[in-house]
Amino acid sequence: MKIKNYQREKICELFSPSSGYVLDFSNKTFAEFFEDHFETNIYAEVFSEKGTSKLNRLLCFIEVCPSHVVVELLNLLWKRRNKERDSEIEQAVMQSSLESFSITPEYVEILLDNAAVEDKPFQELIDEIGTAPVQMVQPHFSKLTKEWTLDTVEREFQRAFDSVEKDPEASVTAACSMLEGVCKSIIATREIERPKRMDIKSLYLSVREPLGLAPDKSISQSEIEGDVRAILSALSNLAQGIGSLRTHAGTAHGRERGVFGDSILGLLGHQFLLRRL
């Protein structure tokens, strides 16, 4: 989520006692914290865009997460920050109920009041982040909409789903047209040279390289290279398969006599296929 400047400053004030650090975390405990609570490698490259310090990685993590995850993260950090304080209060509450200790209820009340004062700015920050996620991300989506209008894609998307039950062949055609529209929009936005043929396979091949989706893409981590190549090859096969399905089972090239809504798509389970196109 996109946090505001004053919210970022408040996070730094609350959780970064020294420049670049986060609370009392070492490199090891910082990595373990994110692994245990969020199953995330905080030392991955994606979290180093602002810098490689723990604080910069924390801020990067916050900006790529939804608001409810950010709230969970900050609550965990706040609990860690006040571990000794809360332990002292808990112990004082327990001792105040025992005659063998000289802790009075009044002393416990003072501890609780002081804690409430310390918690107030943090709680205000949490309330803001937890209740205003939509307004914070809206400018980002507005900018994208202005840059790249997908009105034709949206129409084909709606046409595909409206026809799933009553006319599955037409739905396949619309689904393929939707993917063609996405590729054409990418070509226009990125000023990519248009292919000679405008079928789905040719369109996909045109955008594949500029988007870094070619199966021969160089992968620096050898242990995942085969997996990534398999996925990228599958994308090419998927585009070709969708085009073939439109040709053989769609309406782009007409219908056979007496065939309407009950073709080979019924045997394949057209709803399963169409909802994944």
The domain ranges of the chain are: 5-133, 148-274
Contact 34, 168 (CB under 8 A): no
Contacts 24+ apart (CB under 8 A), 191-199: 199/243
When comparing pLDDT for 208 and 123, which is higher? 123
- CA distance linking residue 128 with residue 15, whole number of Å: 17
Q: Where are the alpha helices (DSSP H) in 132-214?
A: 133-147, 151-162, 168-189, 200-208
Tell the burial category of 240 from Cβ atoms under 10 Å away from its Cβ (0-12, 13-18, 19+).
middle
- CA distance linking residue 164 with residue 244, whole number of Å: 18
At 226-254, the pLDDT tens digits run 676 677 777 777 777 777 776 665 555 45
Q: Check residue 273 and give its pLDDT.
A: 47
The lowest-confidence range among 89-98, 183-192, 242-251 is 242-251
What's the chain's average pLDDT? Answer: 77
Q: How far is CA 176 from CA 124, 141, 200, in A?
A: 49, 25, 7
At 149-179, the pLDDT tens digits run 455 566 666 666 676 667 777 777 777 777 7
